[in-house]
Amino acid sequence: MTAVDYTVIVVYLAGMLALGWWGMRRTTSTSDFLVAGRRLGPFMYSGTMAAIVLGGASTIGGVGLGYQYGLSGAWMVIAIGLGLLALSVFFSARIARLKVYTVSQMLDLRYGGSSGLISGIVMWGYTLMLAVTSTIAYATIFDVIFGLDRVIAIVLGGAIVVCYSTLGGMWSITLTDMVQFVVKTVGVLLLLLPIAVVKAGGFGAMKSELPHGYFSPMGIGGQTVFTYVLIYSFGMLIGQDIWQRVFTARDDKVARRGGTAAGTYCLAYAVAGAVIGTAARVLYPKLDAPDDAFATIVKDSLPVGVKGLVLAAALSAVMSTSSGALIACATVANNDIWARLRGRTLRTSGGSHDEVGGNRVFILVMGIAVVGISVALNNVVEALTVAYNVLVGGLLMPILGGLLWKRGTGAGALASVGVGGLTVIALMGWKGILANEPIYFGLLASLVAYVAVSLATKPTDAAILDAWRRRLAGEPAAPASETTPATAGA
């Protein structure tokens, strides 16, 4: 690392803080703070959506999977891209027209307020663990850049993200995500990818050096691919961090077209990461851990200045996911848990400056909690697996059922969350956190509970379904439906 590389990285970090301050000046309402005023156009929407879904796991982990399995290592990030494409094409327009802030508010609208608190707690746990795992990744990157102690690296990286997220909320995060999207595109796709392939001698030399399985599309294993699709593709459909970005779209066309562009970008990013990892396997066949491949090839293969830019790209990937998960965690904690416990009414539009201050406090508190947990936690993969398993096993069926099946009821949704979540947790305790069975049987149990209890209970009130249909169609809602009772059905 040279002075030029350090300068590039420091300027990038300072720029993140400056954009946070700029975003604060544009934030005057709850809508501005939580969903960027619901007015992002296609370019900004697609850039910020790609930034949130392609984090440290997709960049450092994606290269690591390529190092370990070859081109089939792209499947994890491909699953993320496929999930985003499915969300954008089939669901994003309806989600955007709901004009809510959280997934639990959507469940309240659909089922009449019977499952919002429980689903809010599940979603809060997921977003908290997602923010924690992203924050831990700072330790690896700052160790490569500055040789910092793990705790100092986590505190430094976390403090920067908490600072700009607290200042301007979603506007600050959107502005920083656009910079991060550009830096990742230039650093990883346009610089590191071709340089790594050339350093490895080209694709011909890579094929002659490595076993045939490294170039098989299913070399990672069919069951692993299936599990990736279940966890990550379906996780994209229902995660608060992803939905909160959908809510920022100016209209449903932006949500659909911009999300489709972001999903397509994810597929290209997936292949790039796997190819870089495969090249690293040729250049450094005996690394201690696959996840070391990214940092190693950056340090040893890139010229001065470019090295700093690519490491800034890695920081971009981690920061975009971390900030998106942090604001999602704080939004759920404030609007879905704290407001309900206090018996308050959840507003779905507008919001005063005082409410902005309240949301800002929650981001700060959640940010401090995330940094503290990150310092204490070591096993990132297991924490992330727990988060996604519980999220998908507990919430996938109530959410998709609410969007697709009018006979689904609040009691069915509540049973589905409880049975699916508990099944996943029990099987993780029995079979192991990284086993495939928890998500398989958790989803099956959740589906059976949702259908059986919904059919056995009274259909959802016709007035609730009528208001729901109007919201999905983007029609003006009656004044009473502008708010959702925080404790209805509790």
pLDDT at res. 227: 87
Residue 13 has pLDDT above 70, yes or no: yes
**Helix (H/G/I), strand (E/B), else coil: 483:** strand
CATH topology of domain 3-347+356-378: Sodium/glucose cotransporter (1.20.1730)
Q: Rounded distance, CA 453 to CA 318, Å? A: 41
**By three-state DSSP, how is residue 485 classified?**
strand
Residues 240-262, mean pLDDT to the nearest whole number: 91
Across the range 373-377, mean pLDDT stands at 81
* Percent of the chain's residues with pLDDT above 70: 91
pLDDT category at 397 given cuts 50, 70, 90 is very high
Report residue 489's pLDDT band, with 50, 70 and 90 as the boundaries: very low
- B/e letters for 464-477, b = 16+ CB within 10 Å, e = fewer, are beebbeebbeeeeb
Instruction: Indicate the pLDDT class of residue 380, thresholds 50, 70 and 90.
Output: low
Assess whether pLDDT exceeds 60 at residue 483. Answer: no
pLDDT of residue 320 exceeding 90, the answer is no
Q: Name the average pLDDT for the chain.
A: 84
Average of per-residue pLDDT across 220-232 = 89
Q: Is the pLDDT of residue 321 over 90?
A: no
Domain ranges of the chain: 3-347+356-378, 380-474
Is residue 488 very low, low, confident or very high in pLDDT (cuts 50, 70, 90)? very low
* Mean pLDDT, range 316-343, rounded to an integer: 84
- Contact by Cβ (8 Å): 415, 253: no
Greater confidence (132 vs 281) lies with 281
Band of pLDDT at residue 195, cut at 50, 70 and 90: very high
Say what the pLDDT of residue 238 is.
Answer: 87
222-259 burial, b if ≥16 CB within 10 A, otherwise e? eebbebbbbbbbbbbbbbbbbbbbbbbbbebebbbbbb
Residue 477's pLDDT is 55
pLDDT in tens, 410-419: 899 999 999 9
Q: What mean pLDDT do residues 428-454 have?
A: 91
**CB hemisphere CA count around 131 (13 angstroms):** 30
Residues 345-355 have pLDDT tens digits of: 445 444 444 57
**Gap between the Cα atoms of 435 and 438, Å rounded:** 7
Q: What is the pLDDT of residues 463-481, one digit of tens each?
A: 999 989 888 887 765 544 4
- pLDDT number for residue 116: 66
For the ranges 117-121, 138-142, 429-433, the one whose mean pLDDT is highest: 429-433
Whether 485 has a pLDDT exceeding 90, the answer reads no
Question: If pLDDT is split at 50, 70 and 90, which confidence band does 154 have?
Answer: confident
* Mean pLDDT within 404-408: 91
Would you put residue 476 in left (φ > 0), alpha (ψ -120 to 50) or beta? Answer: beta
Mean pLDDT of 362-369: 92
- Show the tokens assigned to 454: 């919904």
